[in-house]
Amino acid sequence: MFKFISFGSGSSGNCYYLSAIEGEAILIDAGIGIRKIKRYMKEYGLSMSHIKGIIVTHDHADHVKGAGYLSQEFNLPVYTTATIHKGMLENYNQTKKVDECLAIKIDKEKEFYLAGLSIIAFDIPHDSSENVGYLIKHGDEAFAIMTDVGSPTEKVHHYIGQCNHLVIEANYDEEMLRTGKYPEILKQRIASGMGHMSNRQTAQTLSETFHEQLKSVMLCHLSEENNHPELARKTIECHLRSFGIIAGKDFQLEVLRRLIPTGPFELE
């Protein structure tokens, strides 16, 4: 069984807690302030001493701005690819860099172990230096996270097929983005194959990849300006229903909140 908590999910900051063994856990991204992370851990009755490391999806500030401070204060290793580590060093929005001795470089598609978890990183298209999703296994359960998904590639499809529990981006509603106040160049960037995934794209991806072993789906990284939690939920539910897949019956569907924690979820 996994214990999963979202401490924040969206352009204001992303950070997720995951554990499968009592007393050992990881953070996925650290894009919110260290004081918030410590406060949320305390509110949930969790100890920072249980965190064995941080795994990073990509080098944009909303995913890494707290990583250096957190790593330094608690002597936490930070795991990601060499390209993403380099991007973090060059990111001026990350004022505290990760110390070289704590910057652990991993290879995509190569398994490593942390906090009793088997972890594999894989490519996700996005306009960062590089972006990865993670497939994380413990026993017979498999958890995958795919955030900031520019487009639903074959690799995205493949790893959805490998997991029982999925965190996946549903960033924007296409009509809200089209008619919204963002400048045209930003709209084009978001809707490009290297930007973000819309509610419709996420719904279509799930309909194409749904399998009987998929027990839960959590929608992450919703836009504040171009989406709404209930709109994202309804878009997914209605599209899947047209394929005979019923949220709440065939799988559990959740929407992660942008600015405050969501969970805890016991995933089994």
Q: Is the pLDDT of residue 94 over 90?
A: no
Average pLDDT over residues 53-60: 98
Q: Is 189 exposed, middle or buried (0-12, 13-18, 19+ CB in 10 A)?
A: middle
Hunting for tokens 């969790």 — which residue is that? 46
Q: Is the pLDDT of residue 190 over 90?
A: yes
Average pLDDT over residues 82-105: 94
Q: Which tokens in the block code for residue 69?
A: 């401070």
Cα–Cα distance measured from residue 29 to residue 64, given in angstroms and rounded to the nearest whole number: 6
Q: Which tokens in the block code for residue 246?
A: 């019923």
Q: Which tokens in the block code for residue 58?
A: 């990509």
The pLDDT confidence band at residue 158, using thresholds 50, 70 and 90, is very high
Predicted pLDDT of residue 106: 98
pLDDT digits (tens, 9 = 90+) for 114-141: 999 999 999 999 999 999 999 999 999 9
Predicted pLDDT of residue 199: 98
Cα–Cα distance measured from residue 54 to residue 63, given in angstroms and rounded to the nearest whole number: 11
Predicted pLDDT of residue 267: 96
pLDDT digits (tens, 9 = 90+) for 222-263: 999 999 999 999 999 999 999 999 999 999 999 999 999 999
Predicted pLDDT of residue 92: 84
Indicate whether this model's pTM tops 0.85.
Answer: yes
Predicted pLDDT of residue 83: 98
Average pLDDT over residues 35-54: 97
The pLDDT confidence band at residue 22, using thresholds 50, 70 and 90, is confident
pLDDT > 90 in the chain, percent: 97
**What DSSP string describes 95-164?**
-SPPPGGGEEEE-TT--EEETTEEEEEEE---SSS-BEEEEEEETTEEEEEE-S-SS--HHHHHHHTT-S
Average pLDDT, the chain: 97
Q: Is the pLDDT of residue 46 over 90?
A: yes
